[in-house]
Chain A
Amino acid sequence: MTTLQTAFAKAKADNRAALVGYLPAGFPSKGGDVAAAAALVEAGCDVIEIGLPYSDPLMDGPTIQDAVHRSLTNGTRIADVMRTVEGVAATGAATLVMTYWNPIDKYGAERFARDLANAGGVGTITPDLTPEESEPWRTASANAGIDTVFLVAPSSTEERIKAVVDCCTGFVYAASLMGVTGARETVNVAAEGLVKRTRAHTDLPVCVGLGVGTGAQAAEVAAYADGVIVGSAFIRRILDAPGEAAGRESIATLARDMAQGVRR
């Protein structure tokens, strides 16, 4: 199993940023999710985030909302998310789950952490869990041997950045902009400053997400961050493709472009 530590060490040894791809479980279909993620891995993604579909995704823009809605309509449950993680982890990529807090809370923190570790998952990203509320989850994750990733934002004060990075293991997720998920024309200039400010508080890798959609943008972010996170741009391509196979081909093309980007 590839851990986050080995994935980032490998990228660092290659003198490049890591490429992190996001897809929701159960999208474009049950079963089709693993194939899509595998296509991303083959095209050069080092780390895969599997989204746990949730009914009220506060931080997501219309593209991910649409994908998640389809997944929930297809009847995706947490057991399916774990199966997806198992399938993706088998490709050799470090595999995380990105989830809002309530599904973990309801499932039971200890149980969720244990099941995720058993499925080969290496950690979670929890966008609406604050440091103040995170203790039960960090304990459960530590007991299960999985990493916890939390977010810093351009609005975060130095004090907040410190509080957030103190809760992180694996890496720190730097939200490039004040806003929700979705590819943008340009990556916000605030991202570079935020990465710098975050590095002052931690030796963990700092990855930038939100708004990255092209190889050129990936290259731009890779110049100052340890990892580049891409989600909506892949999902948009799958949504626009005439079928699952075409969608896989399309995201593989984009992922290859991004993989070159992080190597420039």
Chain B
Amino acid sequence: MAGNGAHGDDPDVHGKFGIFGGRFVPEALIPALDEVAAVYDKAKSDPEFLREFDHLLRTYAGRPTTLTDVRRFSEQAGGARIILKREDLTHTGAHKINNVLGQALLTKRLGKKRVIAETGAGQHGVATATAAALLGLECVIYMGAVDCERQALNVARMKLLGATVVPVTNGSQTLKDAINEAFRDWVTNVDSTHYLFGTVAGPHPFPEIVRDFARIIGVEARRQMLELTGGLPDAVCAAVGGGSNAIGIFHAFIGDEAVQLHGYEAAGHGLESGEHALTLTAGSVGVLHGSRTYVLQDDEGQTIESHSISAGLDYPGVGPEHAWLKDSGRATYHGITDDEAMAAFSLLARTEGIIPAIESSHALAGALQLGRELGPEATILVNLSGRGDKDMGTAMKYFNL
């Protein structure tokens, strides 16, 4: 089923979704990427691997996660019915656990004993440290020094789980620089180490692997929507930084042409301020972190630093499959400002007793806007990609609590 360009396809043999994706990495990494691709190719059709993955998802991650009708919250959306897919209820509190369990199993198949990962908000780092602890792997997490500060709780969690956390002091000291540093480690230690990539970006085969491990979100949600409402939603909403939670929930619906797919990027202080992470909305096509995709860059291809109140969305690139979904028109991408996201964060807490991750709050804010557009008959499925415990420091500061 490789690469005829239809929606929902796997990428072609070069890892391309249309013109996006591919590999732009030092030659030293090519054999490692080939090895990961070959081992994954076998694993994904090996019943034993799939059984083991499914077992971990059910008995360790807490799948399937439930759907929640948020009727009081929906009142602010012009009466449209908003339903949440509760990834916040997974072990470690975010959708990231799905991918890391899959890749940790893959690491064992690769015969490697060490995993490295990059993290922005810390969720992927915590999830990786968790999976490494479970499967007895050595674990090193690269995290921008700025992010270490704003996500101190997650740094402590990773350390408690036995991981080494390396603060990255280069560049903007955020996710982008943590990824650069993790690649440098990988080039140096590729024989012993698997780079447990955290989002649907990076060189082939990572966008495909991470998507496949995350797509359980949409597979479950589609079935659950049919059970709960008797039909498919009118729209599916998700936040987009690198794009793993969004691809995770979008993927099962790509073939359902009547279902609108809406991704919400961080507009930070607004497009005009220049302080945002509007990669798909305001970026241009380029190469970043090993993949051709949309990038926030200047006229000479230098990456422009992004901004978001959410460390998890503070990234100037995006997964190539999202670039493809945007250009093909299958998905639509919008910006949500810090203030809009924080208003939705607070609203969900007060109306439903759920404190969402600030990342997810961007999708919630988007769903409120979309509900007002689509009207009271509409049903909107939102991926609540993670819980907000990790963001309490930011919330305390923002709301002066």
A129 in contact (CB, < 8 A): yes
* CB pairs A–B below 8 angstroms (12 shown): A57-B180, A58-B25, A78-B300, A102-B24, A102-B297, A106-B297, A128-B24, A129-B24, A152-B27, A164-B27, A179-B184, A180-B184
Stretch at the interface among B46-54, B282-290, B349-357: B282-290
Bound Cα distance from A153 to B22, whole angstroms: 20
Contact of A59 among B26, B170, B287 (CB under 8 A): B26
Within B339-379, which residues are at the interface with A (CB < 8 Å)? none
Bound Cα distance from A207 to B278, whole angstroms: 42
Q: How large is the interface on A (under 10, 10 to 19, 20 to 34, 35 or more residues)?
A: 35 or more
A65 in contact (CB, < 8 A): yes
Stretch at the interface among A14-22, A37-45, A154-162, A237-245: A154-162
Bound Cα distance from A164 to B31, whole angstroms: 13
Bound Cα distance from A55 to B23, whole angstroms: 19
In this complex, what residue of A is CB-closest to B295? Answer: A102
**Would you give the shortest CB distance from A236 to chain B, in whole angstroms?**
17
For B231, what are the chain A residues with a Cβ–Cβ distance below 8 Å? none
**Would you give the shortest CB distance from A133 to chain B, in whole angstroms?**
6
A54 in contact (CB, < 8 A): yes
What would 11 more interface pairs be, CB under 8 Å, given A58-B183, A69-B170, A179-B28? A55-B303, A58-B26, A101-B24, A102-B286, A102-B288, A103-B300, A128-B290, A130-B25, A152-B27, A155-B28, A160-B30
Known: A102-B288, A103-B300. A132 touches B23 (CB 8 A): yes
B188 in contact (CB, < 8 A): yes
For A180, what are the chain B residues with a Cβ–Cβ distance below 8 Å? 184, 187-188
B299 in contact (CB, < 8 A): yes
Bound Cα distance from A59 to B184, whole angstroms: 6
Asked if residues B184 and A175 are in contact (CB atoms below 8 Å), the reply is no
Contact of B25 among A57, A128, A154 (CB under 8 A): A128
B44 in contact (CB, < 8 A): no
Asked if residues B23 and A56 are in contact (CB atoms below 8 Å), the reply is no
For B189, what are the chain A residues with a Cβ–Cβ distance below 8 Å? 178
Bound Cα distance from A104 to B24, whole angstroms: 13
Q: Nearest 4 A-B pairs (CB), nearest first?
A: A106-B301, A153-B28, A103-B301, A179-B188
Bound Cα distance from A127 to B289, whole angstroms: 13
Known: A61-B184, A77-B300, A179-B187. A56 touches B25 (CB 8 A): no
Within A93-124, which residues are at the interface with B (CB < 8 Å)? 100-107
In this complex, what residue of B is CB-closest to A65? Answer: B170
Instruction: Kindly name the residue among B14, B28, B29, B297 whose own CB sees the greatest number of chain A CB atoms within 10 A.
Output: B28
For A179, what are the chain B residues with a Cβ–Cβ distance below 8 Å? 28, 184, 187-188
Known: A101-B287, A180-B188. A133 touches B31 (CB 8 A): no
Asked if residues B27 and A130 are in contact (CB atoms below 8 Å), the reply is yes
For A152, what are the chain B residues with a Cβ–Cβ distance below 8 Å? 27
B190 in contact (CB, < 8 A): yes
In this complex, what residue of A is CB-closest to B284? Answer: A106
| Binary per-residue interface labels of chain B (197-233) against chain A in the complex, 1 for a CB within 8 Å, 0 otherwise | 0000000000000000000000000000000000000
B43 in contact (CB, < 8 A): no
For A106, what are the chain B residues with a Cβ–Cβ distance below 8 Å? 284, 286, 297, 299-301
A223 in contact (CB, < 8 A): no
For A157, what are the chain B residues with a Cβ–Cβ distance below 8 Å? 31
| Binary per-residue interface labels of chain A (56-95) against chain B in the complex, 1 for a CB within 8 Å, 0 otherwise | 1111010001000100100001100000000000000000
Contact of B287 among A105, A150, A151 (CB under 8 A): A105
Bound Cα distance from A129 to B26, whole angstroms: 7
B136 in contact (CB, < 8 A): no
Contact of A54 among B28, B32, B170, B302 (CB under 8 A): B302
B251 in contact (CB, < 8 A): no
For B297, what are the chain A residues with a Cβ–Cβ distance below 8 Å? 102, 106
Bound Cα distance from A179 to B190, whole angstroms: 9
For B22, what are the chain A residues with a Cβ–Cβ distance below 8 Å? 132-133
| Binary per-residue interface labels of chain B (160-181) against chain A in the complex, 1 for a CB within 8 Å, 0 otherwise | 0000000000110000100010
Asked if residues B26 and A128 are in contact (CB atoms below 8 Å), the reply is yes
Bound Cα distance from A130 to B190, whole angstroms: 18
| Binary per-residue interface labels of chain B (16-39) against chain A in the complex, 1 for a CB within 8 Å, 0 otherwise | 000000111111111110000000
Asked if residues B28 and A130 are in contact (CB atoms below 8 Å), the reply is no
**Would you give the shortest CB distance from B204 to chain A, in whole angstroms?**
10
Asked if residues A105 and B30 are in contact (CB atoms below 8 Å), the reply is no
Bound Cα distance from A127 to B29, whole angstroms: 11
Bound Cα distance from A128 to B301, whole angstroms: 14
Contact of A156 among B25, B27, B290 (CB under 8 A): B27
Bound Cα distance from A127 to B187, whole angstroms: 13
Asked if residues B286 and A155 are in contact (CB atoms below 8 Å), the reply is no
In this complex, what residue of B is CB-closest to A150? Answer: B27
**Would you give the shortest CB distance from B343 to chain A, in whole angstroms?**
33
For A55, what are the chain B residues with a Cβ–Cβ distance below 8 Å? 171, 302-303
Contact of A56 among B26, B32, B288, B299 (CB under 8 A): B288
Within B93-138, which residues are at the interface with A (CB < 8 Å)? none
Instruction: Kindly name the residue among B26, B171, B187 whose own CB sees the greatest number of chain A CB atoms within 10 A.
Output: B26
Asked if residues A59 and B187 are in contact (CB atoms below 8 Å), the reply is yes
For A54, what are the chain B residues with a Cβ–Cβ distance below 8 Å? 301-302
For A78, what are the chain B residues with a Cβ–Cβ distance below 8 Å? 300
**Would you give the shortest CB distance from A209 to chain B, in whole angstroms?**
12
For B27, what are the chain A residues with a Cβ–Cβ distance below 8 Å? 127, 130, 150-153, 155-156, 160, 164, 175
**Would you give the shortest CB distance from A136 to chain B, in whole angstroms?**
12
In this complex, what residue of A is CB-closest to B189? Answer: A178
In this complex, what residue of B is CB-closest to A164? Answer: B27
Bound Cα distance from A200 to B372, whole angstroms: 67
**Would you give the shortest CB distance from B352 to chain A, in whole angstroms?**
40
Known: A155-B32, A156-B31. A105 touches B25 (CB 8 A): no
